[in-house]
Each structure stands twice: as structure tokens, then as C-alpha cells.
Structure 1
Amino acid sequence: MKKILALLALFGFVFISCSDDDGTPPVTPEEPEPINYTSGSANFSNYVAIGNSLTAGYSDAALFIDGQTASFPNMLATNFALAGGGDFSIPFMADNLGGATLGGTPILGNRVILSFASGSPSPVPVSGTGSTEISNTLSGPFNNMGVPGAKSYHLLAPGYGNVQGVALGLANPYYARFASNPNATIIEDAAAQDASFFTLWIGNNDILGYATAGGAGVDQTGNFDPSTYGGNDISDPNVVAGAINSALQAMTENGADGAIANLPDVTTIPYFTTVPYNPVPLDEGTAALLNGAYAAYNGGLAQLQGLGAITADELAQRTISFSAGSTNAVVLLDEDLTDLTSFNPALINMRQATPEDLVVLTARNFIGTLANPQDPTSINGVAVPLADKWVLTPEEQLSVNTALTAYNANITALAAQYDIALVDANAFLRVISTDGFPLGDGSTVTATYATGGGFSLDGVHPSPRGYALLANLFVEAINEKYGSNLPGVNPLDFTGLYIN
């Protein structure tokens, strides 16, 4: 093959030489025709983005200048500028640390980063104190109305940006920096800008808090009063749909076009797929010691199964057993098991994890630590079961997915009702988590933690490269709906991982 290529190269050289010898002037390649980008039937002159952390550009567990610059709405705005789009203002944080203070007291943590200089194989917070002071309010309006932490109904909540309510947990520190007044709502501030085009991506946090807390919240389906919800609860689908409908009504009142994205399956993100269910290494002696310690528990279960208190399947599910090797499953508490403590207080709702359980990312720094520093046998996840917040069980996953299905059905219906573009973020991120997305340089963006390039180090939010792929997804849907020909962005222009 190499000889053939060499001969072809030689023939090419001879041919060119001969052409030069016969006096024929070389042909100058024509300059490509400049592309005339158009907005189609849309008007991009005044673009406003509404949403939560995904809209704001949050990544690596924080909001910071570089992340805000790499937000998907800012990427969209650069595309819109090619077809009549105007300026796009962002309520920038004061630095790239991500931390912030309230009255001088730190209230937000710095972003995390892989720092080989630290000697740690795990992400570490960027050192320093953030210079963003929440009470130093900014003068808007701002085109990027993404507010980290916002749930659907927070878009309509008066006082959500009141600085005085931040310390009390009644207001959002990010929105408090740029709300037009203490009683303003996010959607009022967005609609007041009389946008010609908008994007809306909201509802993720209405299930994400429950999921990342390992299901340590309440499924509020059937409860239509969000004022009674806890921070980690699943919002009722009708509440979410009502909030989104109100937002769309406000944004389209003056004829604006827009795009709305549905919600991804949160159980496919690295936060739930990185830590294995069976990460415990044991030697033969330790395995035998643990099996002896759990013998009474296993025996009590067998006795109650014989009395009909639990089924044979539940007995098998709850029986705890260890063996020598590196793949022992963690022990966890599961509230969905039959409560046997009325028979014996020692028979708590305990079992070992299975492949169907999702261990949260933060458990990687907890499993194997000591519950009691004075007791070397009190190993979390082994001798001491993991609490509910560390594992999302199959029953809890069902609650998440049931709500997600309802949310997305409503979003699809609302997109049709208001005749705006629908962005299928759910299907796209499923591709990232399964097959990956190929790029022009031959690499593939995946959902593998830290190395996949699609997600940042918090395991939840995209990296800048991941946001670029999402921006292109929005562009594709907008082009299809409105007949525009926006080019999108090159994901390779954006980093997949910040390293220090």
C-alpha cells in the first residue's frame, strides 16, 4: 500500500511538472461564496433565555465567568447575530472561582477542578474566596435569565430574588443579584424585555433534587400546593405544566417565537452511573468476620420468613453475605422493605445493593469511612448501612421516571399549543450516555465521568463542550421550525474538562 501511495505521489509530481513545462498557467481556486445566514420566519433581534442552572452555564458545581460565557444561550446568541441578532447581556459573576458572599460571609462554594498539583485523583475546589457579593445587585435587564436552583414554579414566585430572603432560605442568591426589584418574578423580568425570540428550559430541578438526594424526599404528585414542598421533593406534574404554561403565555403575548426543551432522564448522568454498587474489597478474614457479624440478622430474617412475615424472595433480597474479593456490594437501608422492627428492633430495613441500584457520585468519598472514628469496625457501607440519601433504589427511580414522563408529555403538548420549536434533549442525552456523539477530529463525547467530555466534574451539568452540543441541538430544532439556516458551533472550540 505504501509503495502504491508513493508511486501516486511521484506521478502527481511528474504531472504537475509537465503541466508547468507546457506553459499553462496554474488555476487559482475560486473563493467560496459567502453564506447568507437568515432567520427564516423568526426574529432574533432580541433574544431572552429563561431557565435554571443549565441555561445559566453552571458547571463543575458552580457558576463562574468562563462557564457563563460557555452557556448554550450565549452560543445561540453568537449564531443569532449572524442573522439579525442583537446584543446578549449576562449577569456575570465577579470571577472564575464561583464562590460568593452575603454581607461578607461565604455562602456558595467554589467550583471544583482536577488539579494534579494537589496530588489528589479526585476533583478539588479551586482555592481562594469568591469576590461575588450577593447584596451588590446588578443593573439589568439581562438576556440570560437562567437561575441555578430554580424549579418550574419559582419562575412565578414573587420575592424569589429578594436579597433579604436569601439568608432565610426564602430567596435565590443568584437571582437576588439581578432581580429588577425585591418582589419581581423571573418571568416578569424576562417578559418585560419584550423579546422577539426566547428559549425556555425548566423543570429539571423539579425531579433532580429528589434524585440526587437518593430519593430522600417526597413524591408530591397529587399535591397542587408547591408552598408545601420540600427542597428535595418531586413536583406534581400539573404544577410543572401550569408554571411552564404561564411562562409561555407571558413570553408569547407580544408575538415572540421561541424554543422549549424537554427534560433528560437524570438517572443516565454520571452522578448516578460512576460509583459501582459493589466497590468493597475484602480479604478472606474480613469477609468471614463480617459474615459472622451479620449471622444473627440473617437468622432472624429466616425465622420470620418461616412464620410468613416476609416472602422467600424478600428473604433472599435481604440476606447479607460477603466474600473475599474486590466486588462486594454495599449494605444500605431501604424504606420499601417490609418493616420487621416490631418483631425485633435489630431487624432494620437493610439489604445489599444490586446492579439496579444507583449509588450517587458523592458516596465515593463516604463509602469506607468510619461512622465512629473510635471504632475501626464501623465502616460505612459495610458494617454500617448507607442511609437513603446515598442510593437511588429501583422504586425511587420509578417515581423519578414516572414524573419525567408526565413532564415531557406536557412540554410536548405545550410546544404544539404555542407553536414553538421543541428540542428533544431527552433523546439526545440518551445517545451521549449510550453510544456517544462523534466529533470531527475522530473523538467521541460520552457521559463517562471526567474523561467523556460531555459532563463537568459535578456529574450533573454539561461541560462547555457538552453545552456546545446542546446549543447545536437547539439550532437544529430552530432551523427546522422557522426555516433559518444557522450554522451552529464547533464543539471542538470548547473544552471538555478544566484541568489545573
Structure 2
Amino acid sequence: MNKRSLGTALRTAALAATVLLGACVGDGDQVITAVQPTPNGGELFVRYVAMGNSLTAGYQSGGLNDSLQVRAYPVLLAQRAGADFESPLVARPGCPRPFAAPLGATGRIGTADSCFRINNPRVINNVAVPGARVRDLFQFPAGPLASLNTLLIGPRTQVRAMIEARPTFVSLWIGNNDALEASVSGVLGPRAAGADSTLTPLAAFQSRLNVVVDSIKFANPRGAMLVGVVNAIEAAPILQPGAYFFLARDPATGRFQGKPVNPNCSPLNILGQLNPLAFNMVSFQIVGDANFPEINCDPAAYPAGDPRRGVYLLDQGEILLISQRIAQYNAAIRAAAEANDWLYVDPNLILRPFLAEETEVVIGGQTYRLHQRLRKCQDLRDATTPAQIQAAVLTSCPVTGPTAAPNFFGSLMSFDGVHPSTEGHRVLAGRFASRINQRYGTTLSTSIS
């Protein structure tokens, strides 16, 4: 037996031992009942289990509750397949409560979080837990994530919950949080002494992914879909070029949503030339952080040793590093899918057409070509004159007023600038259904309306 085969065998044996030991723990609410084959999903969707993080759990606008969970793409996929599918539904207003407006400008809905369930299904099909990294699927998470994990699927891992459900089809969308914290916080180093990096090292990502993949193989489904990692720098509106904050500021006060914007975020310098600093990526999270007196586009704005140095900001080198790491993650996920004859889907290929999509709208007698689905200031890349730059803000950036997009960040995005809206989940379900049909011969509806 070679080293690779031995490693796989050891992981499988360890997984089997974990499952057998876990089976000794009483989980009366997890008794499996027979489910008949479904009309459109056929034998493949007799028992569908979805694993993952907040994207799969149905998290929207910074919160989770039953009204959002039932709109998540796995629920929609199961409906298209005619399959029974149970989610661990959280009481409203939510745990946590969703934002009432983009990025919590007016706070969250309700007055207090409601961290309890309103159902107790015998089998849980959506075992995803918001905040999960790859390692959290097979290793019970620590910190605040532990409470949410327990609320949703009990004191067990997603791997165990998936295996106990005896799936015939598994979808796995994991890895986004292995890069998201670094992307949004701008901090690529260790989270704390002894903790993992905010940007998970590739070797660690691959070894952890192998454990999860082995667990799916152990469950022996008829098929599986592995979904890659979204590059938030490319597709998540919570990150915008620094120029956006300068151009969208109140010209009378020089402030964006009350926070001063440093002139180094101006897209043009005093000579009318493009300013490279303005195209560093800035996280919307800086707006609400009182520790930062202004929005600044210079990575060296704070002295060495100051914990604020480079936070909420990605320079061009960091943008390249994170993008390359995500590409490596996705290569590993794709290789795992192909090695097991499963379906692989790259979510970035789903999102890119919507970044380019334009809708012609006439406002006050003037015609605009607006990006209504996703607002990432994508038109700023090709703007070089003051007139072009200002037009790009109106058509492709998150703005208020006549040229505003639905949900501020675009109709596919919820109020947190990271997670899909209800429309976004419909699009995902339609695109995933199309790929599943192609690969497995099912007849799921591919409609996104």
C-alpha cells in the first residue's frame, strides 16, 4: 500500500470509528425513516443532504431565521426534485437577527435574538452551519460557532449528521470562510497565538478537505456536488475600491455615512492621473468601527506595530495573494470531485455574467445602463476621465437615488454584502439544477424566476 492509499485508509478507519462511537450517543430525533423515490430527482434525490456554511444554511442580511432558511438554495433544489427536505428552523426574529437595512445602517430587526428552534425533524437534511470552515465539518467547532452548531444540528459534527441521514445525494459548499475573514478584515496573519491563519494555508485546506471527502465516500451516496469557493474580492459587494467611498461621500462634509474619507482615496491625483491607492479594496466594515477615525486607502496609514495597520484594506499584493489561494482551493475541490466521479461547480462562473449584465433604464429623459444584479463598482476599472468616473459610480456602485439597485448591493445580494438574497438563492438553485441534470440525467427545473 502506498502512502496516499495508506493515508486514505487511515482517515476512513478513523471516520468509521468516530461514527460508531457517536452512534452510542442517544439521538432519538435522528431516527431514519424510509422515503420513496422522487419524481424529478429520481433515485438520486431520495435522501438529499446539504453540507456547508452560511451560504447553504440560508443566512441573509447578517442573520438567520426560518423565513430565510426556507428560501435557501438546497430547499429550492429539493423542491425541484420533489424530495422531502428538512431544515433546523430558527425562530424569528433570528439568531442572529438580520439587518433591517444595508449593513445594519438602522440596526437589526426585532429587539433581541431568538436562539431557539421551532421544529424538531427526525432527519435533518440541511446540516450546514454559518461560519464553518472546512475543519469544522469533522471537528466540533470551538468558540461562538459551537453554540450555533449545537442549536442547528445538536452536539455533533456535520460529517456525523450527514452520515446518519444516509444520503443518496450530497452537496458540499465549503471553504469560503477559509478565505473570507482575510478578504473582509484585511488581516492575513494568525487570528491569535496558536490559532490558524485567517487565510487557511493550502496544505491544511487540502488535508482537511480530504477528511470531508472521505466521509462522503464512507456514506456512499449515489452522487455528490462539490461547489468551489467564491472570490469575495471579485464578487462580494462588501468590498469596494477605495475610490468608491471618496466619490460617494457627502461633498459638503467629506464623509461617507458619517465617516471622513481621506483624500488619498481620490481616483485622480492633483495632476489628473489615476491614483493607484484608490483601487485598493476597502471593506464596508470600517464604516461602523469606531476604532478607525477615517476611511484611508494607504496600507501604511498607521505606523508599524499599530493593530489598525492594514485592517479593512487590501492592497494589490494582498488581492493577488488571496485570489491565487482561492484558485488553489478550487483546484483542490475540483480534483476531489473528479477523482470520485462527482460534479464540480465553480460559483465564480455563475456570478461573473451577472457582474457584466446591464439593464437599460431611462431616468429623467437620460438613458443609463445599470448593473442591477450586483454592484461592485465594476465600471470604475475602465473609467479614466472625471465624467467617466462619475458615471461609473452611478451605474455600477452601491448608491442611493434614481440609479440605485435593489437591495443597495444589487438584487442578488442581501443587506450584508456577502450572502445571496432570496433572488440570489433562486439563481443558484437554477444553475445548480442545470449542472446536476447534465451530470446525473435528472429533470430538475432550471428556472431562476
What's 2:62 paired with?
Answer: 61
2:157 corresponds to which letter in structure 1? T
Tell whether the 8 Å contact from 2:264 to 2:278 is kept in structure 1 after alignment: no
Return the offset for 1:356. Answer: 2.7
Return the offset for 1:228. Answer: 3.9
Structure number with bigger Rg: 1
2:105 paired with 1:131: no
The structure-2 alpha-carbon separation of the partners of 1:46 and 1:429, relative to structure 1 and needing over 3 Å to count, comes to same
Tell whether the 8 Å contact from 1:278 to 1:327 is kept in structure 2 after alignment: no
Provide the rounded CA distance (Å) in 2 between the counterparts of 1:156 and 1:471.
26
Provide the rounded CA distance (Å) in 2 between the counterparts of 1:437 and 1:175.
41
What's 1:80 paired with?
Answer: 81
The structure-2 alpha-carbon separation of the partners of 1:382 and 1:170, relative to structure 1 and needing over 3 Å to count, comes to closer
1:264 to 227, 230, 243: 230
The structure-2 alpha-carbon separation of the partners of 1:420 and 1:282, relative to structure 1 and needing over 3 Å to count, comes to closer
Return the offset for 1:142. Answer: 0.8
Tell whether the 8 Å contact from 1:140 to 1:178 is kept in structure 2 after alignment: no
1:329 to 242, 250, 264: 264
Say which SS state the counterpart of residue 51 (structure 2) adopts.
Answer: strand
2:320 paired with 1:394: no
Return the offset for 1:262. Answer: 1.1
The structure-2 alpha-carbon separation of the partners of 1:260 and 1:380, relative to structure 1 and needing over 3 Å to count, comes to closer
Say which SS state the counterpart of residue 455 (structure 1) adopts.
Answer: coil
Return the offset for 1:283. Answer: 9.0
Provide the rounded CA distance (Å) in 1 between the counterparts of 2:122 and 2:315.
44
2:335 paired with 1:361: no
Tell whether the 8 Å contact from 2:88 to 2:126 is kept in structure 1 after alignment: yes
What's 2:91 paired with?
Answer: 94
What's 1:229 paired with?
Answer: 195
1:147 corresponds to which letter in structure 2? V
The structure-2 alpha-carbon separation of the partners of 1:68 and 1:489, relative to structure 1 and needing over 3 Å to count, comes to farther
2:98 corresponds to which letter in structure 1? R
Tell whether the 8 Å contact from 1:187 to 1:250 is kept in structure 2 after alignment: yes
Aligned length: 349
1:479-494 alignment to 2 at 5 Å? Answer: 479-491=437-449
Say which SS state the counterpart of residue 446 (structure 2) adopts.
Answer: coil
What's 2:138 paired with?
Answer: 156
The structure-2 alpha-carbon separation of the partners of 1:216 and 1:482, relative to structure 1 and needing over 3 Å to count, comes to closer
Return the offset for 1:327. Answer: 8.7
Provide the rounded CA distance (Å) in 1 between the counterparts of 2:185 and 2:340.
34
2:434 paired with 1:476: yes
Provide the rounded CA distance (Å) in 2 between the counterparts of 1:37 and 1:227.
53
The structure-2 alpha-carbon separation of the partners of 1:265 and 1:123, relative to structure 1 and needing over 3 Å to count, comes to farther
What's 2:380 paired with?
Answer: none
Tell whether the 8 Å contact from 2:278 to 2:297 is kept in structure 1 after alignment: no
2:432 corresponds to which letter in structure 1? F
The structure-2 alpha-carbon separation of the partners of 1:139 and 1:69, relative to structure 1 and needing over 3 Å to count, comes to closer
What's 2:373 paired with?
Answer: 446
Question: Structure 1, unaligned stretches of length 5 or more?
Answer: 1-35, 100-107, 220-225, 288-325, 332-351, 372-377, 492-500
2:228 paired with 1:273: no
What's 1:417 paired with?
Answer: 339
Question: Structure 2, unaligned stretches of length 5 or more?
Answer: 1-37, 255-260, 267-274, 303-307, 361-368, 376-397, 399-406
What's 1:147 paired with?
Answer: 129
1:308-327 alignment to 2 at 5 Å? Answer: none
Return the offset for 1:400. Answer: 0.9
Tell whether the 8 Å contact from 2:241 to 2:279 is kept in structure 1 after alignment: no
2:180 paired with 1:208: yes
User: Once the two structures are superposed, what CA deviation does each residue of 1:274-326 show, in whole Å capped at 9, x if it has no partner?
Assistant: 76355187999x99xxxxxxxxxxxxxxxxxxxxxxxxxxxxxxxxxxxxxx9
Q: TM-score, normalised by structure 1?
A: 0.62
Tell whether the 8 Å contact from 1:357 to 1:391 is kept in structure 2 after alignment: yes
State the 4+ residue runs in structure 1 displaced beyond 6 angstroms.
280-284
Tell whether the 8 Å contact from 1:265 to 1:430 is kept in structure 2 after alignment: no
Provide the rounded CA distance (Å) in 2 between the counterparts of 1:156 and 1:276.
42
1:176 to 146, 150, 164: 150
Return the offset for 1:432. Answer: 2.1
Provide the rounded CA distance (Å) in 1 between the counterparts of 2:193 and 2:340.
28
The structure-2 alpha-carbon separation of the partners of 1:91 and 1:39, relative to structure 1 and needing over 3 Å to count, comes to closer
What's 2:46 paired with?
Answer: 45
Provide the rounded CA distance (Å) in 2 between the counterparts of 1:147 and 1:205.
11
1:357 corresponds to which letter in structure 2? N
What's 1:298 paired with?
Answer: none
1:59 corresponds to which letter in structure 2? Q
2:99 to 112, 116, 125: 112
Identity %: 24
Q: TM-score, normalised by structure 2?
A: 0.68
Say which SS state the counterpart of residue 145 (structure 1) adopts.
Answer: coil
2:216 paired with 1:251: yes
Return the offset for 1:156. Answer: 1.1
The structure-2 alpha-carbon separation of the partners of 1:264 and 1:113, relative to structure 1 and needing over 3 Å to count, comes to same
Provide the rounded CA distance (Å) in 1 between the counterparts of 2:423 and 2:285.
23
Return the offset for 1:140. Answer: 4.8
Say which SS state the counterpart of residue 226 (structure 2) adopts.
Answer: strand
